[in-house]
Structure 1
Amino acid sequence: MPVVPTGSAGASSRKRSAEPGENPPGHEREAKKACWGILTSQGLQERERERGQIMCSALHMTVSKWLLFTAEGSWADRSPLHEAASQGRLLALRTLLSQGYPANIVTIDHVTPLHEACLSGHVACVRALINAGANVNATTIDGVTPLFNGCAAGSSVCVELLLQHGANPWTTHAHHPSALHEACKRGSRECVESLLSRGVDPDYEVPHLGSALYMSCLHNHSGCSQVLLHRGADVNRGRGEETPLHAAVASDNEEQISLLLDFGADVNLRDCNNLRPVEIAPPGGKAQQLLQAHNVSPRSLCELCRINIRNLIGRSRLKFLQQLPLPSLLTQYLEYT
């Protein structure tokens, strides 16, 4: 029986292990470990992704529920007293007050029944709430007062009633809503007169709205503009570089433009786009014709004197014009009456 040499078998084995394309011993185990590591990593990433999606969904549901609760709460916490004041049901309101409902009960937004009554212009309800001790200077979370709501409703009776009972006509914060601006926006001349008679500055500005005169010109309320100018409002003070005349010209409001020009509006002032009022006037409109006529005919000496005398007297002393030893005709001329 032939004997197979052991040396040739070892050589053959070594040859097979050394042939190209074949893995060395232990490589398969390492490859399996690497593959398992990749699968494990992918599995962890997938689980993390799923966990993140679940958390996002839960957060979204929580926020949605909170917003829904807030939206419902702002109405759900309105008391029967709020409803009665809003709808002007005086008998129901008096009954609720007699049953112990506090006159200063507030919603989640700090809205009081007095806010509601003023916003709807229900004078009898306003009077009943004030007599029951309602705070005339209560403010909502947005800084809105009953006085502001009265001006928004255009109710001069509500405004006067609030002022008589100690309502503060001045805005306590620069960014809070201004009752004077709201009255000018709504065109309530009587409300403007009531506020100015209590010492409100006719030149008071709100940063994003500008002056009260600018507001009345922007919304085409010549009556409010006339009251403000008679009280000494600066005819050229608007919003930023834009003057009340710019606002009136943009609306092509002939009455407003004539009023501003009579009180000395400067036709050469430029807005933020470096444009004069005549340059923004609608082509062929009344505003353009007025301004062009004004440019070719200078102011009369009487007009210049009136403007300068009023400026010298000063806004705070214009109310004393009647007391000056002047002929009534001259006094009326200085007062634009």
Structure 2
Amino acid sequence: MAEAPSVAAEVSRKRGAEPGPQTEHAPERKRACWGILTSQGSWADRSPLHEAASQGRLLALRTLLAQGYHANIVTIDHVTPLHEACLSGHVACVRALIHAGAYVNAATIDGITPLYNCCASGSVGCMDILLQNGAHTNTPYTHFPSALHEACKRGNSQCVESLLSHGVDPDYEVSHLGSPLYVSCLHRHTACSKILLHRGANVNIGRGNDSPLHAAVRQDSDDQVSVLLDNGADINLRDNNNQRPVELAPPGGKTQQLLRLFEVSPRSLSQLCRLQIRNLLGRSREKLLPLLPLPSRLTHYLEHT
């Protein structure tokens, strides 16, 4: 009786597996694989290929693929070995799985893709391989998990840069999260905020009436507040409770002082000119600034670097 689950589980994980004669050592190998699976408890539906990908064991992964394990084998939640390799940041395993036919846009039942997992782990190497092999940078529905939002949440600025370089909209909104800039402000990741703004993100788009500046002020992040103000944040926007950012600032803190000083000190002419020129250029043309026959100092000024 103990052998039945073993055979069923193993056959379900094989490429083109059909009932037929077994090799001499097949039962022993099946028992070994079943032992690995049951040892994982609630992860018992994970195959040895999932384990090899997760642990970065390239030789074992190649061996399993050669033995007939399918690169797109899924768990009950539709997690693939490629998901596992990306979540653990194993570049060589990602490359081997894709070479074996792994689907780069596979999604779990929750809409998680391998690209999303790269952003969760901060693995730019894995991300680049996925993007080179046709990974979709945008999700089909706004309630699906967003790779860009995850990178901003984790503070993985290199992933943010890579995604934006491949055409992801810096203002892409997820209904329950808001804009990527809002998420980066909410989690105090100034480097991500700077990259988003440099790539043309709208400084005032947040989540509903809650602006990125509101989020930064609630976190008492004076660095974030300074960056947002430099990029044209509106200090007079009101959130869902009809409050301005300065009204949310902790009393006596740096953030409150910064906002009050800004209220009585208008932006410099230099700042106003830069914002106006960038608005006239439009986001799609901002990346072409380095190609214009301008002095490097002027280019840096317009890029705000």
Q: Which residue does the alignment assign to 1:294?
A: 262
Contact 1:74–1:108, Cα closer than 8 Å, also in 2? no
Query: Of residues 213, 218, 228 in structure 1, which corresponds to 2:186?
Result: 218
* Residues 73 and 108 in structure 1, CA contact (< 8 A), matched pair in contact too: no
Q: Which residue of 1 aligns with 2:200?
A: 232
Q: Does 1:111 align with 2:69?
A: no
1:325 Cα deviation from its structure 2 partner: 3.5
SS at match of 2:297: helix
Could you tell me which amino acid in structure 2 is paired with residue 321 of structure 1? Answer: L
Distance 2:67 2:191 in 1: 45
Distance 1:129 1:295 in 2: 56
Structure 1 stretches of 4+ moved >4 Å: none
Q: State how many pairs are aligned.
A: 266
Question: Which structure would you say has the larger Rg?
Answer: 1
Q: Residue 217 of structure 2: which of 249, 259, 266 is its match?
A: 249
Cα distance in 2 for residues equivalent to 1:95 and 1:299: 63
Aligned-partner residue type, residue 87 of structure 1: Q
Report if the CA contact (8 A) 1:74-1:109 is conserved: no
Measured in 2, the distance between the counterparts of 1:162 and 1:292 equals 46
Q: Does 1:258 align with 2:222?
A: no
Q: 1:76: how far off?
A: 2.2
> What's the offset of the Cα at 1:124?
1.4
After superposition, the C-alpha distances for 1:162-211 in whole angstroms (9 at most, x for unaligned) are: 11111111111111100000000000011001100110000000000000
Output aligned runs, 1:189-204, within 5 Å: 189-204=157-172
SS in 1 for 2:287: helix
Of the structure 1 ranges 327-336 and 143-152, higher mean CA displacement relative to structure 2 is found in 327-336
Matched residue, 2:300: 332
Matched, 1:178 2:146: yes
Deviation at 1:123, TM superposition (A): 1.3
What CA distance in whole angstroms lies between the structure 2 residues aligned with 1:73 and 1:145? Answer: 24
Q: Any stretches of 5+ residues in structure 2 without a counterpart?
A: 1-39
Q: Superposed, which structure 2 residues align to 1:38-117 within 5 Å? A: 75-117=43-85
Cα deviations across residues 290-315 of structure 1 (Å, max 9, x unaligned)?
00110111011111111011011000
**Per-residue Cα deviation, 1:85-138 (whole angstroms, up to 9, x for no partner):** 111111111110111101001111111000011111111111111111110000
Shift of 1:73: 9.3
Alignment RMSD:
1.2
Q: Do structure 1's residue 169 and structure 2's residue 137 form an aligned pair?
A: yes
1:324 deviates by 2.7
Is 1:142 aligned to 2:110, yes or no? yes
Q: Which residue number corresponds to residue 275 of structure 2?
A: 307
Does the 8 Å contact 1:231/1:315 carry over to 2?
yes
